Amino acid sequence: MSTPQAKTFVKVTVTGLTIDPFTNMPIIILKDEGHKNALPIWIGLIEASSIATELENIELSRPMTHDLLKNIFKNMDVKVAKIEIVDLQDSTFYANIHLKMEGRELVIDSRPSDAIAIALRTDAPIFVSQEVMEKSRKIDLSKETGEGAEEAKQEKWTEILENLSPDDFGKYKM
């Protein structure tokens, strides 16, 4: 009987936010340390606003939800050790937030956008499972039909995302 293999994770950084030109939904772009692979994750407007606020170092007069969580963690002496994007099923990403508290590690299920917003505020590293990176390359990014249309659209998106630079993102128009 074989034992399940441990997942392999790739460290990534947030390289920016952009808008999907087809759906007008925000996309957060994660890239591996060598900037060879890009992972786009479609997120909600509120989460995109929270992430953009942190990326732009904008100070608000009152804390947003992710700032509140950061403050709670700090006051309770809880450290965000890391976040991991662990799965992709039916075009939905799944993440875990790893917390350290009183010598224990807690793993909390989260949406990737919330986990990333918290990681940015707490300087926690972000990891993506290699399996998710591979699955994301197979996401149907097109509603178009016809022979070769889906594959051509995926190749175009892959090329666009892999060649994005921070200058391509503008000022996070939301």
pLDDT at 141: 45
**Helix axes of 65-75 and 45-55: crossing angle, nearest 10 degrees:** 60
Q: Is residue 1 part of a domain?
A: no
pLDDT value of residue 158: 57
pLDDT at 31: 94
Q: Domain span at residue 133?
A: 9-141+148-166
- Kind of pairing between the strands at 79-89 and 104-110: unpaired
Residues 115-142 have a mean pLDDT of 87
Q: How many domains does the chain have?
A: 1
Q: Is the pLDDT score of 36 beyond 90?
A: no
The token pair that represents 53 in the structure block: 């606020």
Q: For a pLDDT cut of 90, what percent of the chain falls above it?
A: 62
Q: Decide which of 153 and 138 is more confident.
A: 138
Beta strand pairing status for 79-89 and 126-129?
Answer: parallel
| DSSP string for 14-83 | EEEEEE-TTT--EEEEEEETTS--EEEEE--HHHHHHHHHHHTTPPPSS--HHHHHHHHHHHTT-EEEEE
Asked, for residue 77, whether it belongs to a domain, the answer is yes
Put simply, whether the predicted model's pTM sits higher than 0.85 gets the answer no
Residue 78 covered by a domain: yes
pLDDT of residue 66 exceeding 90, the answer is: yes
pLDDT (average), residues 26-45? 92
**Is 173 part of a structural domain of the chain?**
no
pLDDT at 97 over 50: yes
135 membership: H or E segment, kind and range? helix 130-136
Mean pLDDT of the chain: 84
User: Pick from 31, 40, 36, 30: which is nearest to 141 by CA?
Assistant: 40
CATH of the domain at 108: 3.10.690.10
Q: Is residue 174 situated within a structural domain?
A: no
Determine the pLDDT at residue 137.
78
